[in-house]
Structure 1
């Protein structure tokens, strides 16, 4: 697991709860339009993430972010440089 960081507060054995997913969706919706990626670009990033071996329950094992949030913000990039 060289090069990977893990959030010490998280228990990766637990799956994302419905509440957590709803929170992330609402958070993304509240990102101001001028700070958000276009929908097609956002979906493209999520598609790439969904096939990544470093994705675990919606979280990036490289940086610890929720990929749905990182992918939504304009100017943010994949820490593994996949998008």
Structure 2
């Protein structure tokens, strides 16, 4: 039986993603899509890492996405409710 974690209605321990799996998911997500420049990606990730909505060091509480995947895609925006935290 999986136990729900504080802060997320539907998440359980099983949502934790290993660094290797995260890299693979990024590879799959960016196939054939425009990616953010490395500098933009790093700036986005810095914002996400300092955001209080980051869960499990990988997941956005506002949309449920893996922030590394979202930050890598050029057309993505930050889903923060009061406006994007990505400059």
Mark the CA change 1:73 to 1:62 in structure 2 (over 3 Å): closer, same or farther. Answer: same
Once the two structures are TM-superposed, the CA of residue 24 in structure 1 deviates from its matched residue by: 1.6
Give the TM-score normalised by the residue count of structure 2. 0.71
Match of 1:59 in 2: 59
Give the TM-score normalised by the residue count of structure 1. 0.74
Equivalent pairs, count:
75
Unaligned runs of 5+ in 2: 1-7
Please identify runs of 4+ aligned residues in structure 1 that moved more than 3 A. none
Match of 1:38 in 2: 37
Question: CA RMSD for the aligned pairs?
Answer: 2.4
Greater RCO (CA < 8 Å, at least 6 residues apart): 1
